[in-house]
Amino acid sequence: MASKRSRKVKKRQKALQPRRRQQQPTSTQRPLPQIPPEHADHFAMTLTGEILQPIRLHYDVLDAGELRAVFTKLRCIDNDAPRKRWVWLYTDEARGLSFKDKRAADHTVLGEFVFKGSDEVVLNLRSFERATHALGFFDQHIPRTVARVTAVTVSNRVISLQDASSLTSLDHYFDSAEVVVQDAESIMQRLQDIASSTTDTQERIALAGKYMEEKAKTPLPPMERVALNYYEDGIHSVEALLAPRQVIAMQHWQGNTSYTYHDFVLEMFQHGRRGVLSRCVLTGYRILSFLRRTCLGGLKRMSVPTKSAQ
């Protein structure tokens, strides 16, 4: 009886062998995922559960050798030498970070550091949440005397599953994009010019308000670079910068392509979401504070500049 069962097992194993050989991959290259046609136009999500919206953090490097030493010591950083990058993995030290989907597998790639010359390194990531986590995480591990984050490049659109399936290199995605560099100093200078253009306080306020409303109604570019004041203003200033951009991107995805920052602020007020608004328009509050100083404060004593002073 036992020998009869043994013969059956051997016969079954022999029958399965050709099938198993057929299932073995013929290439070590990872194939692109196949997206069912009915899902191709859905927006993509990351493996850690956030909306896929690429973002790049820019760091000024003060000591490249020491920065590489820090990367080497961190167990969650892997040197991917063939692709000239240092990969940040969801493992070891990084495993304690709280993402929306904690079921993400060990060694899920959270981001990649790529050196751009000797004095800059960028961290490419697939979501805003990963970026805010990265800022706090690496501020703990990278001394500010070694590298400091200075700016962020943001994609102001979400990506379909179909497009995400071919997004194999974030570094190329950013390097090949047309990026609009936003200059906050130019906005402040324009407000200064407005405040200097008249001695009438009410007129100053009206002109400044009109200018800021026009700025808020201006459509965001597809890709923009914005300076960060993370070390001075903290993580909430970064969240205030990013949150409206994700809301606007989702509105555009849903077909409301005329939706702007101005609409976002109005909706926050209309729905009574003051807490959300206070976090998301921190930069606006700083500008309003500037307006109070210029329109109602010290600039009252300023006269209209003469032509020779312009």
8 Å CB contact between 237 and 229: yes
Q: What is the pLDDT of residue 271?
A: 65
173 shares a domain with 69: yes
160 shares a domain with 77: yes
- The residue with tokens 């597998």 is 105
Assigned domain for 235 exists: yes
Instruction: Label the pairing between strands 120-125 and 180-181.
Output: unpaired
241 shares a domain with 185: yes
Q: What is the pLDDT of residue 172?
A: 96
280 shares a domain with 191: yes
Angle between helix 261-270 and helix 201-217 axes, rounded to 10 deg: 110
Assigned domain for 24 exists: no
8 Å CB contact between 161 and 43: yes
Low-confidence ranges of the chain (pLDDT < 50): 2, 4-5, 8-9, 11-40, 275-310
Assigned domain for 28 exists: no
245 shares a domain with 196: yes
172 shares a domain with 207: no
The residues, ordered by sequence, that sit 6+ positions from 188 with a Cβ below 8 Å of its Cβ are 287, 290
153 shares a domain with 58: yes
The residues, ordered by sequence, that sit 6+ positions from 35 with a Cβ below 8 Å of its Cβ are 161, 162, 165
Q: What is the pLDDT of residue 104?
A: 81
Please classify residue 97 by burial: count the beta carbons closer than 10 Å to its beta carbon, then call 0-12 exposed, 13-18 middle and 19+ buried: middle
173 shares a domain with 187: no
Question: DSSP string covering 216-270, please?
Answer: HHSPPPSEEEEE--HHHH-HHHHHHHHHHHHHHHHHHHTT-TT--HHHHHHHHHH
Q: What is the pLDDT of residue 26?
A: 31
Domain of 188, in residue numbers: 180-220+231-300
Q: What is the pLDDT of residue 113?
A: 98
Q: What is the pLDDT of residue 202?
A: 79
Cα separation, 146 vs 113, whole angstroms: 15
255 shares a domain with 171: no
Q: What is the pLDDT of residue 290?
A: 41
Assigned domain for 6 exists: no
46 shares a domain with 134: yes
Cα separation, 49 vs 39, whole angstroms: 17
Q: What is the pLDDT of residues 271-308, one digit of tens each?
A: 655 544 444 444 444 444 444 444 444 333 333 333 33
Give the chain's domain count. Answer: 2
Q: What is the pLDDT of residue 112?
A: 98
Nearest of 245, 70, 227, 46 to residue 153 by alpha carbon: 227
162 shares a domain with 201: no
Residue 192 identity (one-letter amino acid): Q
